[in-house]
Chain A
Amino acid sequence: MIPAIELRDLTKVYRTVRALDGVDLEVPQGSVYGFLGPNGAGKTTALRILSGLSRPTSGSAHVLGNDTTLHPDQVRGVIGFLPDVPGFYSWMTGEEFLRLSGRLFGLSGRVLDQRVGALLDLAGLSGVETKVGGYSRGMRQRLGVAQALINAPRVLMLDEPTSALDPIGRRDVLDMIAGLAGRTTVFFSTHILSDVERVCDRVAILHRGRLAAQASIDDLKARHGIHKVRLTVRGPARELAAVLQSAPWATHVEHPEDDCLELSVQDLAAAQVAIPREIAALGIGLRRLEAVELSLEDVFVDLVGSGLP
């Protein structure tokens, strides 16, 4: 099967900056694919090339087999795209913007009516008569996802769809993305690992324009120890740190405070059983044990350390 997205040695240079440096990536059809990386990693550049807004300096980008530079019309016909900061006509209502979007895809009549109605419902914007200029950031982002779906795209590309949203707005947008699983290929960039964990089945990590990893979420967790545990005990934790350091499920132990430890663990369940046992054996006393959500930096450190340029 042709990949939904295929990048081959994709390089983009802006004057002296290599925004993308020989990126090879394949996104299978039907997957919900997370494109991870810190700000400035090159995610937006890659998405702009894929959507035909920008051209590669060298290498190629294909969407469903169509080269984005040579056949941009074919690409635009099969994708839905949401940029990081979507710009809407402030004088339009959300419904009018969706109708405009649909007409650009040649939709009309009952099909357009049904599509617009369904997407307004999905975005929670049914009955909202306010002009887009008066929308909150969350409403704009939900409308952004809705307009990207107007053509029932075979590949949906979303650039940082949850950034700068409040928790409720973020949950709503993630729910919309999760609801598309199995119906279309979703390729979305983010720097929030928990978003990826929540809705993606595969992930690629981009760092300084280069691909650090691409794998399924399960593989990534299995390969790179993807849990973190914070531990507070009664009394000094130095001896406990030494014991836990040698545990097979622990990949890294930090000792930030006298009575506190932070552990990177590959097997959270095993850690949750073993840690209280070791504490009891040492007779220290446990005050607090919590699983901590990993930041992107934690994954990077665990995945590639300081090996990246």
Chain B
Amino acid sequence: MTGLAGFLRKELLEIRRTWRIWVLPGIVLFFALTGPVLARFTPELLQAIGPQDAGFVIEVPDPTYVHAYQQWTQNLTQIVTFALIIMLGGVVAGERKSGTAVLMLTKPLSRSGFILAKFVAQSALLVSTLLVGAAVTWGVTWAMFGEAPLRPLGAATGVWLVWALMFVALMLLLSAMLGAQAGAAGLGVAVFIMLSIPSAWETAARFSPAGLLGAPGRLVTGQPVYLAWPLLTTFALTALTLGGAIVVFNKKEL
């Protein structure tokens, strides 16, 4: 894969030197820090802002580490996924628009190498961000509740990572295909919504990537989760989408 290593190095340096190092890690760390705190004080907050009339009672269960973990998984599956989609809308389109792709691709860097380097670099950012975010969530949860089992948190975060990697590949495809950041991001959000709908239908959730959307929440609450087919189909779709991005980009005239 000609030029892959050199271009990957540039991708990683670009993440470190530009806004990319702040956006996704910033959002994830913010939720990692605030999620457990919010879970811990939500009952008091509700009591404080509720009506003070005599006889009105708000029944809120005592918060536990599970609530903190639920906050974490909800934020991942919604806000962080949206942020990822919007952030990656210009991952290829931006280089085409600015003309940098032309200078890179007239050197011994194949278009496959161009796409793969971006996938590896963005995945590396995602993995490292999630590792730090999960560690912070675990630490703050332990500090707030005195209890923070690693296994459910690790499993839920890992499952979401597989889901997110599929979106990294998808956004590479859409960004290569459409050539416009806003268009790619819009279509990415549309795909996310389309996958969210069948996630509520058990049969679809059991046998397709849609099953991974609700899986992190179920894992932290100890509910049964069917992971084999959702994971398998998500890996397959990730590989197909990544291959599609390479094929589409190979056919594009720059």
Contacts and interface: CB of A to CB of B under 8 A. Distances in A.
Interface of A: 48, 51-55, 73, 76-77, 79, 81, 83, 85-89, 91, 100-101, 103-106, 147, 151
Contact of A104 (B6, B98, B101, B254): B6
A140 to B, nearest CB: 11
Contacts of A51: 106
Given A87-B98, A89-B14, A103-B6, A53 B103 contact: no
Contacts of B151: none
Contacts of B95: 87
Given A48-B254, A53-B253, A89-B100, A73 B106 contact: no
B2 interface: yes
A51 B105 CA distance: 9
A235 B23 CA distance: 76
Interface in B62-112: 95, 98-110
Interface size class of B (residues with CB under 8 A): 20 to 34
A199 to B, nearest CB: 22
A86 B103 contact: yes
A104 B108 contact: yes
Contacts of B98: 87
Interface string B3-39: 1011101100010011000000000000000000000
Residue with the highest number of chain B CB atoms closer than 10 Å, among A83, A87, A91: A87
A88 B99 CA distance: 7
Contacts of B254: 48, 53-54
Contacts of B103: 81, 83, 86-88, 101, 147
A100 B6 CA distance: 7
Contacts of A106: 108
Nearest to B7: A104
A163 to B, nearest CB: 15
Which one of A52, A79, A100, A101 has the greatest number of beta carbons of chain B within 10 Å?
A: A100
Contacts of B105: 52-53, 76
Contacts of B109: 76, 104
B102 A87 contact: yes
- A-B complex: 4 closest residue pairs judged by Cβ atoms: A87-B99, A103-B6, A81-B106, A104-B107
A216 to B, nearest CB: 28
Nearest to B97: A87
A98 to B, nearest CB: 11
A103 B13 CA distance: 14
Given A76-B108, A100-B10, 14 more contacts: A48-B254, A52-B105, A53-B105, A53-B106, A53-B254, A73-B110, A81-B102, A87-B98, A87-B102, A88-B103, A89-B10, A103-B9, A104-B3, A104-B7
B51 to A, nearest CB: 54
Contacts of B104: 104
B106 A103 contact: no
B107 A76 contact: yes
A178 to B, nearest CB: 23
19 contacts: A51-B106, A53-B105, A53-B106, A54-B254, A55-B253, A76-B108, A85-B99, A86-B103, A87-B101, A88-B103, A89-B14, A100-B6, A100-B9, A103-B6, A104-B6, A104-B104, A104-B107, A105-B107, A106-B108
Contacts of A85: 99
B2 A54 contact: no
